[in-house]
Chains A and B, each alone.
Chain A
């Protein structure tokens, strides 16, 4: 137990902070922070699998997150029959062309020996394939996007339960990671970082501009939910009576019936939003716990030891007969799949898919900061990093405002510097996170909870 003391203390402090937010600001706010902390934790588990276990640097987290979000739209939204009628055949045809291209390129790669002829053949296949796709998809896309563009204008999804999309999101991200891994994993660490950063940008720009797929920057709103809706809760009698029971002390003090009704109504509205967020938190917590158990088991299994060996000395591991390339690819796919899962969870939590909001700052660099701050190679640390950094990210503005007011208390209200500082309070979050990273990198490079290697 003693060896886990620092872990327990760190988590206790974190939860106390969230509860403090609940008491000082509001429970709804505290729960939104908690939900996002849990989602960030899933992302950091994914990034930690790659960076902590295997030392692979992946700056493409944004791309996998976006792909996970796309999966939610493609799986859970009801299909748009008019759009399918208008351009479905063309799109399926183009998909067929893509498959044919891949199959024929694989065939050429297998059957013909490495030569100039092979290169020309492959280039020819790609050019012809692209032309065919253009001819097929062009009119299809146009007619799909013309179907009620204000509301749909896309093919829609499969209309399946939204929880299923979490798994699909993980598979999507894993598939993308397979392709990227095949291309880029042989590169040196910093090249890999740049390459993944840019490839993620390509993925997001495709999602942003292919309107027939998921409406692009026009966003998809009103996604399904795995938990009840606030409106339904507010009219269901069991919920109202539950709220009444919970707040009976508060209600008793009020004398008149009509006033009591009003107060109860307000309480029910507040409670419904808290209840929904609690349900979400429960779902997310389940995911985090399952992932934590799996990753802990994996980390201390023979496989985990092998990964550490590869990370710490690639050449020695490969000399011992470990297939470094294969293991790197595997871990790249696994980590990315977890990030894709987190992306799907996030879109589910928000209830909307906004491709325009995927920016490398928020979805790649902040996640990396979380892993570094929390502790590389330690799953508890990574999760804690997700909590700490997200908490700071949200609460930085209030903290900064408090500090500014404290230090400029002697200045008059209209002082230009004070007004300017208060206006830019929200940018102090970048400053806090940046300084936090620099301090951690300098004085505690292993993170808050360092990696622990159990000798067996």
Chain B
């Protein structure tokens, strides 16, 4: 019985939150990696682009709510995602046309493009703050919990409760759907293969008649979908605040590099590595050990490796370690 309690405890406080947070990071990390692989630069506007897409979802949610449209027990924001994605893709394509394409045609070094993306970051941030303001906004509606701790306790008779928030379940399900469609597209369709070919070797791809314009367009479309979905899921789970999105760029970068930048599957797994790392290292295991150890061995400290203040620092340290020992990522060469 105690053993079961211990497992439920871990499930409730570490594994489920890490899975949903990891999914959000994974979507962002694939976005980073895709831009890096195909367009060949580190996009410092990542966080703000995700924020931009989410902003439309938030605004549309409020609009739908005022019209009285809702999505039953699911959050209205899910309904708005397609519209937000379209706005996002339009924004990205116009940025690409007016800003990035010039440097791509000139074949500027990646550093220059990274600097340009810093400029894009400033502009995007300004537009977001001018339109929606810097404030914290919650836009979650519908059912909040799938499983409540008290219900679970009644059902099983255990001491520990298991809570599953609906946002957590939605995050995981939506991520699985989006990511599997994306991998299917990249690996099984002809256009996806041409994208990968372009990413692996641009010159050879051009020689074999792949249209670079189409590849770039497709990359931005996929990136737009990933950025918006990732951003909306994060916003539903926590809340929407532009500044937080900018900061989220950092663990997302960590996830992309840990997984091996340029490799979508690596980035996907990297998101979970970072999330599990952050949560496992900063969780206080005291209660867990009280359940599994005999009473005489019970710990009297919190059994916490690092305080939760250092949550972000954990993912960055993970990145430093990976950079030191396996600069090309821990999932190097992994392919579907």
Contacts and interface: CB of A to CB of B under 8 A. Distances in A.
Interface in B105-129: 109-112, 114-116, 118-127, 129
Among A187, A424, A427, the most chain B Cβ lie within 10 Å of the Cβ of A427
A442 B319 CA distance: 33
A441 B119 contact: yes
Contact of A205 (B253, B261, B310): B310
Given A189-B110, A190-B110, A202-B313, A428 B119 contact: no
B122 A433 contact: yes
Contacts, number: 122
Contacts of A441: 112, 115-116, 119
A205 B313 contact: yes
Given A193-B42, A202-B316, A361-B246, A430 B119 contact: no
A430 B122 contact: yes
26 contacts: A57-B111, A183-B324, A189-B114, A190-B41, A190-B114, A194-B42, A195-B323, A197-B250, A198-B316, A199-B320, A201-B316, A205-B310, A208-B309, A209-B307, A369-B119, A423-B133, A424-B133, A427-B129, A427-B130, A434-B120, A434-B122, A434-B124, A435-B119, A438-B119, A441-B112, A445-B112
Given A430-B126, A438-B99, A205 B312 contact: yes
Q: Which of B41, B124, B323 has the most CB of A within 10 A?
A: B323
A198 B250 contact: yes
The 5 nearest A-B residue pairs measured at CB: A434-B122, A431-B126, A430-B126, A434-B123, A437-B119
A195 B318 CA distance: 11
B42 A431 contact: no
B17 interface: no
A190 B111 contact: yes
Interface of B: 36, 41-42, 44, 99, 102, 109-112, 114-116, 118-127, 129-130, 133-134, 246, 250, 253-254, 257, 261, 307, 309-310, 312-313, 316-317, 319-320, 323-324, 327
A121 interface: no
Nearest to A55: B111
Interface of A: 57, 183-184, 187, 189-191, 193-195, 197-199, 201-202, 205-206, 208-209, 361, 365, 368-369, 372, 421, 423-424, 427-431, 433-435, 437-438, 441-442, 445
A53 to B, nearest CB: 15
Given A187-B327, A205-B309, A209-B307, A442 B102 contact: yes
A13 B324 CA distance: 47
B309 A201 contact: no
Contacts of A208: 309
Given A194-B42, A372-B115, 6 more contacts: A57-B111, A184-B323, A205-B313, A429-B126, A434-B120, A437-B116
A430 B129 contact: yes
Contacts of B99: 438, 442
A423 B119 CA distance: 24
Nearest to A57: B111
Given A368-B118, A434-B123, A437-B118, A201 B313 contact: yes
Given A194-B42, A205-B313, A365 B320 contact: no
Contacts of A361: 125, 246
Contacts of A437: 115-116, 118-119, 122
B126 A427 contact: yes
A427 B127 CA distance: 8
Interface-centre pick from B112, B114, B118 (highest chain A CB count, 10 A)? B118
B123 A191 contact: no
Given A187-B323, A201-B312, A441-B115, A431 B130 contact: yes
A365 B118 contact: yes
Contacts of A202: 313, 316-317
Nearest to A445: B112
Contacts of B120: 434, 438
Contacts of B254: 198
A216 B129 CA distance: 29
B130 A438 contact: no
A247 B250 CA distance: 55
Contacts of B312: 201, 205
A183 B307 contact: no
B309 A431 contact: no
Nearest to A436: B119
A434 B127 CA distance: 11
B257 to A, nearest CB: 6
A430 B123 contact: yes
A194 B258 CA distance: 12
B99 to A, nearest CB: 6
